[in-house]
């Protein structure tokens, strides 16, 4: 009896397809979102305006003012990611980012040249303007003006009844543009403080002077940590925290669990004890799972939980179902867990 041989086809690997496509054009990809750098313009001595033309995998119609993207760069052979607010989308389908030198990725991003190709994410985040025409207060400091300027243009387009902008910066980034908007739209009240010339900080007295009814307005803040903490305290003290919205890009800080849990990486046949999030615990055990942003947004550390109970530390959601996708960086074990890694 003759043995019959059957052909077993294999799926084509996505990275191989991308390799071939990028020989045709650097931003061609099957699923990945790649973008070509089409402009690099100085905004100040330590901040640039980066213009990107994404490929067709980017859902440009879904972008909302105030949202951000993850920018991925390879630095010394290692992929690093950071979130940047989208300033606006141009009529040519380009997205503009304001990038200030304040870290590894930002420094590398400022060295990009026109024609370079980089990987980005879809637009993300819920730091977006409220619906309707209720008045708003926009507070910015430093590079936080990128998100606030985006919200400001949306507020004008949305015809909010009254718009207050309180802006602290030693560099006059977008200052002239906001002045021009204030001249064009009388409902816009602009309050700028050049902190290189005057030592003015955000406090309750200043807000009461500039915006007497600030507690009643929807407030949006983005900027330096000290200003953000002060804004949070002001709205908490005024019992108006429900009207306060903020944006900042920080790795998720997860408190250590009271109970250590045994974790198994099934394919790697590795076991370790988790006392904090699964990514950090694995790294403490000497393992190196794939990861990116450490904030639960880039999906690079997504994997399948075969069994066990985990909690998403951002949403608080508890997952006790088998064979569910989780993100290692924002998942904490509540029981012994087995992961398909």
CATH number for the domain harbouring residue 31 = 2.40.30.10
Q: Does the pLDDT at position 48 exceed 90?
A: yes
313: pLDDT strictly greater than 70: yes
- pLDDT at 216 > cutoff 70: yes
Number of structural domains (the chain) is 3
Section 64-93 average pLDDT: 88
Lookup: tokens for 28? 């061609």
> Does some domain include residue 9?
no
CA distance 335 to 319: 11
Query: Quick check: 211 and 163 in contact, CB under 8 A?
Result: no
- My answer on whether 63 and 98 are in the same domain is yes
Mark whether 103 and 179 lie in a shared domain: no
Write the CATH number for 183.
3.40.50.80
- Give the mean model confidence (pLDDT) for residues 175-199: 95
Please state whether 76 falls in left (phi above 0), alpha (psi between -120 and 50) or beta: left
Among 199, 220, 247, which residue terminates a domain?
Answer: 247
Instruction: Quick: pLDDT tens for 244-261.
Output: 998 865 544 445 555 889
Q: Provide the residue range defining the domain that includes 183.
A: 136-247
Q: Worst-scoring range by mean pLDDT, 158-167, 264-273, 294-303?
A: 294-303
Task: Please give the pLDDT value at position 22.
Answer: 61
For residue 235, tell me if it sits in a domain: yes
CB 324 within 8 A of CB 331: no
- Distance (Å) of CA 302 to CA 176, 278, 297: 43, 11, 10
Kindly indicate the confidence band of residue 15, based on its pLDDT and cuts at 50, 70 and 90: low
The whole-model pTM stands at 0.70
Mean pLDDT, to the nearest integer, of 227-241? Answer: 92
pLDDT at 75: 86
**Residue 313, in any domain of the structure:** yes
Q: What is the DSSP letter of 124?
A: B
* Rounded-to-integer distance, Cα 323 and Cα 338, Å: 10
* pLDDT at 16 (0 to 100): 52
CB atoms within 10 A of CB 10: 5
Work out the pLDDT band at 173, boundaries 50, 70, 90: very high
- Do 31 and 108 lie in a common domain? yes
Same-domain check for residues 151 and 241 = yes
Name the nearest CA neighbour of 99 among 141, 50, 53: 50
* Dist. CA 192–CA 335, nearest whole Å: 52
Task: Indicate if the pLDDT at residue 64 is higher than 70.
Answer: yes
DSSP secondary structure of 230-285: HHHHHHHHTT-GGGEEEE---PPP-PPPSS-EEEEETTTTEEEEESS-HHHHHHHT
- Same domain for 191 and 272: no
Q: How confident is the model at residue 20 (pLDDT cuts 50, 70, 90)?
A: low
| Predicted pLDDT of residue 252 | 45
The verdict on residue 2 lying in a domain is no
Does 155 lie in the same domain as 213? yes
Look at residues 295, 290, 280, 313 and name the one whose alpha carbon lies nearest to residue 249.
Answer: 295
Residue 240 maps to a domain: yes
Look at residue 128 and tell me if it is in a domain.
no
pLDDT for res 76: 83
């Amino acid at each position: 009896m003759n043995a019959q041989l059957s052909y077993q086809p294999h799926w084509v690997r996505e990275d191989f397809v991308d390799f071939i496509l990028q020989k045709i054009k650097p931003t061609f990809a099957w699923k990945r979102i790649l973008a070509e750098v089409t402009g690099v313009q100085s905004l100040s001595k330590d901040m640039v305006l980066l213009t990107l033309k994404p490929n067709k995998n980017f859902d440009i119609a879904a972008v909302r003012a105030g949202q951000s993207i993850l920018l991925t760069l390879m630095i010394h052979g290692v992929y690093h990611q950071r979130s940047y607010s989208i300033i606006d989308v141009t009529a040519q389908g380009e997205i503009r980012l304001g990038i200030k030198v304040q870290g590894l990725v930002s420094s590398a991003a400022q060295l990009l040249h026109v024609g370079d190709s980089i990987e980005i994410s879809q637009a993300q985040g819920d730091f977006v303007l409220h619906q309707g025409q209720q008045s708003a207060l926009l507070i910015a400091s430093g590079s936080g003006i990128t998100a606030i300027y985006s919200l400001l243009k949306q507020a004008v387009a949305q015809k909010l009844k009254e718009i207050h902008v309180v802006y602290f910066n030693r560099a006059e980034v977008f200052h002239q543009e906001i002045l021009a908007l204030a001249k064009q739209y009388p409902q816009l009240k602009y309050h700028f403080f050049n902190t290189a010339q005057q030592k003015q900080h955000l406090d309750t007295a200043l807000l009461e002077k500039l915006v007497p009814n600030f507690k009643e307005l929807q407030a949006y803040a983005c900027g330096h940590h000290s200003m953000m903490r002060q804004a949070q305290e002001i709205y908490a003290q005024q019992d108006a925290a429900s009207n306060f919205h903020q944006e900042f890009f920080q790795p998720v800080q997860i408190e250590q669990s009271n109970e250590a849990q045994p974790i198994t990486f099934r394919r790697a046949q590795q076991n370790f004890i988790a006392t904090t999030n699964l990514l950090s615990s694995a790294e403490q055990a000497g393992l190196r799972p794939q990861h990116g942003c450490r904030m639960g947004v880039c999906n690079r550390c997504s994997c399948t939980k075969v069994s066990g109970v985990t909690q998403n530390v951002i949403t608080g959601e508890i997952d006790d179902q088998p064979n569910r996708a989780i993100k290692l960086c924002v998942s904490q074990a509540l029981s012994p867990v087995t992961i398909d890694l």
